[in-house]
Amino acid sequence: MIISKKALPRRTFLRGMGATLALPLLDAMVPSMTALAATPASPVRRLGFVYVPMGSDISRWTPPGEGGTLTELSPTLSPLAPVVDQLTVISNLELKNAYPGTHATSNAAFLSAAKAKWTESTDYYLGTTVDQIAAKQIGQETQLPSLELAMDLMEMVGQCDNGYACVYQNNLSWSSPTTPLPAEAHPRIVFESLFGEGGSAEDRRAALRRRASLLDWVSEDISRLQRKLGPGDRTKVSQYLDTVREVERRIQKAEADTADNPLPDLDRPLGVPAAYADHARLMFDLQVLALQGDVTRVITFQLARETSTRTYPEIGVSDPHHPLTHHGNDAEKIAKVAKINQFHVSLFAYFLEKLKSTPEGNGSLLDHSIYLYGSGMGNPNVHDHVNLPILVAGGGAGKVKGGRHIKYAEPTPMANLHLTLLDSVGGHLDSFADSTGKIDTLRKPISLTE
């Protein structure tokens, strides 16, 4: 290994007209002539949240056994088998402040654990969500303090559910009790937010028409950088740029295919992949790029919307999701709900395997990240908010233990988990919403018996 006197700055960008491209962590970025010279730089920690609507068939979600080591996955969680050692399922968490039990409050309370003000107007009031607390504490060194993503077009006004304003149902992230942060569902707009540089939306669209690819504009910087790097770093940069180009190609194809689809899904933005799974995977791939380039360290993603009437013909479910969840204990409807639940989990598994296969420092992006996946509703047939389907994935750069099932005997505040995750990525709060403490058994340095 050649030791140079000066390391490449971690915040190194490739720049072109209207574009800026962050780089993954390279060996050349490790400080030289120090104890770190032969080892990767200390990894940063990331925190992400994936929301799924309308709970789950909890009997097919919950792993068998009484908790402890996660030796067997349930049918719904079976797609996660390749990353089971990085997985913790937590049973019997609750959101007391989500009652009286609505779709709007399920979504609103998921990251806030707060009670939404009952109103259909603009005087809505909730609470600052845990992702935004994290963004203020660990997101200030990145280009984007946080990234908010979704899969559907979101109405921001009007009444959506039992007298609650649509803003509660359509926004996971709130930077203050009165400031919801809209999520973006269009891959092109997300791509530009990660790699674009300045200019209005119209300017960026005009720029897109003038060039074939983002990478075309930074090609000179790429060549200049590659001449300075060692063989390992050159390979790493090449693989990263190949991924960027492939994601951009898929976005371009989806936009081109729009002309051939005169009747798009009314909830789906124009110019996104027609198939739900293709759209979801593309949004997950954009998250990988955002984390790999350290563009952001905090992400929220609404994988589907509460009261969604989306159908899933790709898995043989032609019935709309929301009506199915009001199943009245009909076994056939419950089985279809479970099939949708497992399909959503399989898309998350795709993402986790991508993180696991993306090297960073002495581990992978999954090793250095924590993602919470779940819903603010438990049993959708009765709209309750107890025994939520919740799991945590990732290692948090050594702060989180995986391969376990934490099963509480009594309902425990979801806020305890938020407090624990915030602490695990280097943030700090003494308490959060209705928290009663931290989940010590989730954190790696501590080993307690449930």
Q: What is the pLDDT of residues 24-69, one digit of tens each?
A: 777 777 664 343 333 455 778 999 999 999 999 999 999 998 889 9
Model confidence band, residue 87 (pLDDT cutoffs 50, 70, 90):
very high
Rounded CA-CA distance 324/118 in Å is 27
Residue 417, token pair as written in the block: 């988990």
Three-class DSSP labels, the chain: CCCCCCCCCCCCEEEECCEEEECCCCHHHCCCCCCCCCCCCCCCCEEEEEECCCCCCHHHHCCCCCCEECCCCCCCCHHHHHHHHHEEEEEEEECHHHCCCCHHHHHHHHHHCCCCCCCCCCCCCCCCCHHHHHHHHHCCCCCCCCEEEECCCCCCCCEEECCEEHHHHHCCEEEECCEEECCECCHHHHHHHHHECCCCHHHHHHHHHHCCCHHHHCHHHHHHHHCCCCHHHHHHHHHHHHHHHHHHHHHHHHHHHHHHCCCCCCCCCCCCCCCHHHHHHHHHHHHHHHHHCCCCCEEEEECCCCCCCCCEHHHCECCCHHHHHCCCCCHHHHHHHHHHHHHHHHHHHHHHHHHHCCEECCEECCCCEEEEEECCCCCCCCCCCECCCEEEECCCCCCECCCEEEEEEEEEEHHHHHHHHHHHCCCCCCCCCCCCCCCHHHECCCCCCC
Choice among 6-20, 77-91, 213-227, 272-286 with the minimum mean pLDDT:
6-20
What is the bridge-based pairing of β-strands 46-51 and 390-393?
unpaired
- Tens of pLDDT, residue by residue over 187-229, are 988 988 887 654 555 665 555 555 556 676 677 777 777 777 7
Calculate mean pLDDT across residues 151-159: 63
Q: What is the mean pLDDT of the chain?
A: 84
Q: Which of 364-373, 429-438, 441-450 has the weakest average pLDDT? A: 441-450
Q: Is the pLDDT of residue 324 over 90?
A: yes
pLDDT of residue 447: 33
- What is the pLDDT, as a whole number, of residue 65? 86
Q: What is the pLDDT of residues 244-296, one digit of tens each?
A: 778 788 887 777 776 555 444 444 555 678 899 999 999 999 999 999 999 99
Residue with the bigger pLDDT between 214 and 413: it is 413
Q: What residue type is 149 in one-letter code? A: L
From first CA to last CA, the distance across the chain in angstroms is 47
Residue 26 one-letter amino acid: L
- Which residue ranges form the domains of the chain, and what is each CATH number? 43-185+272-442 (3.40.720.10)
How many residues belong to the chain?
450
Using a cut of 0.75, tell me whether the model's pTM lies above it: yes
Average pLDDT over residues 103-120: 96
Lowest mean pLDDT among 123-127, 222-226, 284-288, 411-415: 222-226
* Cβ atoms 84, 352 nearer than 8 A: no
Q: How many other C-beta atoms can be found within 10 angstroms of the C-beta atom of residue 1?
A: 8
Does 20 score more than 60 pLDDT?
A: yes
pLDDT at residue 342 is higher than 80: yes
